[in-house]
Amino acid sequence: MLRDKIASKEAKIGIIGLGYVGLPLAVEFAKSGFHVTGIDINELKVNDILNGKSYIIDVPSSEIKTLVKTKRLTATNSYTVLKDLDSISICVPTPLSKSRDPDISFIMACVQEIAKHLHDQQLIILESTTYPGNTEEAILPVLEETGLKVGKSFYLAFSPERVDPGNPSYGVKNTPKIVGGITKNCGKMAQLLYQQAIDNVVLVSSTKSAEMVKLLENTFRAVNIGLVNEIALMCDRLGIDTWEIIDAASTKPFGFMPFYPGPGLGGHCIPVDPRYLSWKLKTLNYYARFIELADEINGFMPYFTVTRINDALNRKRKSIRGSKILILGVAYKANIDDLRESPALDVIKILEEKGAKLFYNDPRINCITVKNHVYESKSITQGLLEQMDCVVITTGHDTYDYSFILEHAPVVVDTRNATKNVRKNRKKIVRI
């Protein structure tokens, strides 16, 4: 029986999608003693894993190499291996369409492949973010078309990923895992599996509840970031330092949690997940006002950042058109190599349209393409800084020497308060 296989770690586990979510999960299961097969249509990722190389910042290549060598971890781009697996976790992207509606096409493509090989005593778990009801309404009917019965012949559950790239304190193992099943048996089976590799597994009543948990977590962040971004806009009108206000409010030991403004929302989750919830509610004739308003404010922040760049250039009697502007940091947050939904790319697009001559540096990203224009990361030197008309900090990085940057740059637009501890040349700084 599947339960016995999981408890004895004899169950063969498959992970579909070997990105920021799937690869760390595969490694954690393999480290706990399971045989894990990673499945990805990207041959480069498969080859990297088979050669013991990691392309994810939170997964050391040494771990991949050891797990592959001991045959705890392997990878393939073929779905035929599904027939030999006991548990399959789906960790594929769930982006927004051009109309900003949920795009679950990657999920459904995987489910169709799983259905071809679905067999008795097999556990299917969706980890990809989706709207409440998706697992039950879209995935379950496809799998039950095989004639197998959920909760008896096979098990179906949802367990939202909680990956925070670059987080030094929390990874897959010590971040509590939420699990919800289509049936009680499904939930308990998924809980049992995750308990073999993760410290704390929290079982909720259904897949719909588990789906909603994920959306609440990121909607909470999106709405509060929207609030503080609007506070930044208000402080700009009032002539007040936003960061001073936040720092002072943060001294209150109760009833306040600090959030920080920035050039916009980045990463796969926060800009995307609330849209899944608001879309679902529209189908029920409900308008999610907080989500829509936060989305509007957060979406405006790249434009506000460009306004502040314009203000900084005005100090030098320059216009954006023709000015040399250096963007510091293009990842969506500090010290990672993740470009997904990065607001820095939106800022670059707007500046491109206004005729700026753009350069960038990011210690973890060597090359980017924005609107078919290829940029290569430039080394930060005194000569480069002195050539620029404006330097814009869109993402802070631990490797940046902000004192050096402020000493040699003509003016700096700081969207992250990264220069807060620098005492000299503070008159050069323009903040959002």
Tell me the CA distances in angstroms from 419 to 83, 395, 426, one per residue in order. Answer: 55, 11, 9
Active site residue 269: yes
Return the ∠ at Cα 151 (arms to 150 and 154), rounded to 5°: 60
Cα separation, 143 vs 110, whole angstroms: 11
> Which of 91, 110, 269, 390 is an active site residue?
269
Count of alpha carbons within 13 angstroms of residue 379, beta-carbon side: 3
**Could you tell me if 406 and 424 are in contact, meaning their C-beta atoms sit under 8 angstroms apart?**
yes
Cα separation, 240 vs 254, whole angstroms: 24
Tell me the CA distances in angstroms from 360 to 306, 342, 356, one per residue in order. Answer: 15, 14, 12
Reading the block at residue 410, the tokens are 């003509």
**Could you tell me if 59 and 21 are in contact, meaning their C-beta atoms sit under 8 angstroms apart?**
no
Return the ∠ at Cα 289 (arms to 234 and 345), rounded to 5°: 60
Cα separation, 316 vs 66, whole angstroms: 56
**Could you tell me if 131 and 279 are in contact, meaning their C-beta atoms sit under 8 angstroms apart?**
yes
Where are the alpha helices (H) located in 83-123, listed in sequence order? 105-117
**Do the bridges between strand 154-158 and strand 177-181 make them parallel or antiparallel, or are there none, so unpaired?**
antiparallel
**Could you tell me if 271 and 341 are in contact, meaning their C-beta atoms sit under 8 angstroms apart?**
yes
C-beta neighbour count of 186 within 10 angstroms? 27
Chain centroid offset of residue 134 CA? 20
Edge-to-edge order in the sheet of strand 324-328: 357-361, 324-328, 390-393, 412-414, 429-431
Cβ burial 225-237 (10 Å sphere, 16+ → b, else e): bbbbbbbbbebbe
Reading the block at residue 284, the tokens are 């029920």
Active site residues: 269
